[in-house]
Structure 1
Amino acid sequence: MDITTVLFYLFSAVLLGSSFMVITARSTVHAVLFLILAFFTAACIWMLLKAEFLAIALVLVYIGAVMVLFLFVVMMLDINSTGVREGFWKHLPLGGLVGAVIALEMAAVLMGGFRLSSAPELSAAEMQLGNTKMLGIAIYSQYLYPLEIAALLLLVAIIAAIALTLRSRKDARTQKPSEQVKVKKGDRLRIIKVAPTVEAIEPDATAAGEPGVVKP
């Protein structure tokens, strides 16, 4: 057993442990930190598999941007997870059953790719292209339609998220651009005259040498 195999099993064990802690941690901040550890360990495994582009993309995009955003949101919202965790053990068998079915389906789909005895041989021209360029050629040639379907699903998800935020609520304040365009000057500004409520005080006639105050 070489050092690459030892590191693979070590990183895999850390990845499985951190993934389990994500769903079992009592604190949401700790769950986010364990998720960051899981992503970083997955990036290390991709580096061992010579998928440098995917490893760097995972670190820069997910750990450097998405997970930092999640961490700030969780810390600012101060979510109380006590109510969310009610009934966890009650629904655990059903959740475990659903997870097992999903794992079996993924295994049935991916087992064909795990039956390779050795890695496919690459030509000299393909080796000169580099990992990133070969990945781009494969995505935009062999996997173009799955890429378009994934982009369409992401577009639908963005539209759904915007639609959920625009739902009418009592505590939400919304703007109507059509009414703002039709507004006139008289609707926004009105000049009124207000009579003085306090009259000017007359000067004391006996006070000598003091300037008098003229009543308006």
Structure 2
Amino acid sequence: MIQAFAFYLFAALVVLSAVFVITARNPVHSVLWLILAFFNGAGLMVLVGAEFIAALLVIVYVGAVAVLFLFVVMMLDIDFAELRAGFVKNFPLGLLIALVLLAELTLGIGAWTLGGIDLGTAAGDAAPIIGATNTASLGAVLYRDYLFLFEAAGIILLVAMVGAIVLTHREGRAPRGQQNISKQVSRRPDEATVMRQPTVGEGIEL
């Protein structure tokens, strides 16, 4: 009973939050409603026993992606009049996409009610470990069966990070706004800025 109540509560809040994400006039409020939708989606994942996916939703999507969206939206100077004009201009295209998505959902639900697709029998190789949690089973498969692929993905990400750092910090080039620490340290006192206090009407010599 409590599981069914929690499921309908989380599902209703996800749908309601998604509606407010679309209909909110303030982009900051839209991002906040999106964060609420992520939290309720994580609650649904906990109900079905996928606690690892729930943790990913909270840590990655709420803690990183949604907060990044929030900071970007807060720093942008958004013209709401232009935003509404763009909405009216693109309304026919959005309505067409909505109708296509509605047709796909109707087709999928109709196919599901007629019966599931026979995908064959499971081989049993990827069976979960008896007595282990969902996270432990996922970690065992990841670090046992796909260890080399996991390490290769980590190396690729490391090379990409190092390449980005090298491209943005080249030697011998000082981009605008970047400090040259060695030049500042080796500067002589006579090259520094001198503060003068001239009398009224006298001026200073450049």
TM-score normalized with structure 1 length? 0.54
One-letter identity of the residue aligned with 2:59:
L
TM-score normalized with structure 2 length? 0.56
Which residue of 49, 67, 77 maps to 1:79? Answer: 77
Instruction: Give CA deviations for 1:14-50 in whole Å, capped at 9, x if unaligned.
Output: 1112112112211011011101100000001011111
- Note if contact 1:28-1:81 (Cα within 8 Å) is conserved in structure 2: no
Counterpart of 1:37 in structure 2 is 36
Q: Does structure 1 residue 91 correspond to structure 2 residue 94?
A: no
Instruction: Give CA deviations for 1:120-149 in whole Å, capped at 9, x if unaligned.
Output: 99xx9713232112223455648x98xx89
Structure 1 residue 97: deviation in Å? 2.7
- Note if contact 1:44-1:55 (Cα within 8 Å) is conserved in structure 2: yes
* Shift in alpha-carbon separation, 1:14–1:66, aligned structure 2, 3 A: same
- Note if contact 1:36-1:67 (Cα within 8 Å) is conserved in structure 2: yes
Counterpart of 2:197 in structure 1 is none
Structure 1 residue 102: deviation in Å? 8.7
Q: Does structure 1 residue 129 correspond to structure 2 residue 129?
A: no
Counterpart of 2:21 in structure 1 is 22
Identity of matched residues, %: 41
The structure with more helix, counted as a fraction of residues: 2
What is the total number of aligned residue pairs between the two structures?
A: 174
Q: How do 1:52-63 and structure 2 match up within 5 A?
A: 52-63=51-62
What SS does the corresponding residue of 1:74 show, helix, strand or coil?
helix
- Note if contact 2:31-2:66 (Cα within 8 Å) is conserved in structure 1: yes
Distance 2:46 2:4 in 1: 13
Counterpart of 1:207 in structure 2 is none
* Shift in alpha-carbon separation, 1:125–1:55, aligned structure 2, 3 A: closer
Instruction: Give CA deviations for 1:77-106 in whole Å, capped at 9, x if unaligned.
Output: 14324122313134223223324349828x
One-letter identity of the residue aligned with 2:130:
M
Distance 1:19 1:137 in 2: 35
- Name structure 2 gaps, 5 residues minimum: 169-174, 179-185, 192-206
- Name structure 1 gaps, 5 residues minimum: 166-171, 176-184, 192-216
Distance 2:33 2:83 in 1: 19
Q: How do 1:104-183 and structure 2 match up within 5 A?
A: 104=104, 126-138=129-141, 141=145, 173=176
RMSD: 5.2
* Shift in alpha-carbon separation, 1:78–1:125, aligned structure 2, 3 A: closer
- Note if contact 2:18-2:33 (Cα within 8 Å) is conserved in structure 1: yes
- Note if contact 2:17-2:33 (Cα within 8 Å) is conserved in structure 1: yes
One-letter identity of the residue aligned with 1:79:
D
What SS does the corresponding residue of 1:34 show, helix, strand or coil?
helix
- Note if contact 2:128-2:137 (Cα within 8 Å) is conserved in structure 1: no
Instruction: Give CA deviations for 1:129-172 in whole Å, capped at 9, x if unaligned.
Output: 32112223455648x98xx89x98xx99xx9xxx9x9xxxxxx9
Distance 1:27 1:129 in 2: 45
- Note if contact 1:18-1:34 (Cα within 8 Å) is conserved in structure 2: yes
Select the structure of larger CA radius of gyration: 1
Distance 1:137 1:89 in 2: 51
Structure 1 residue 59: deviation in Å? 1.3
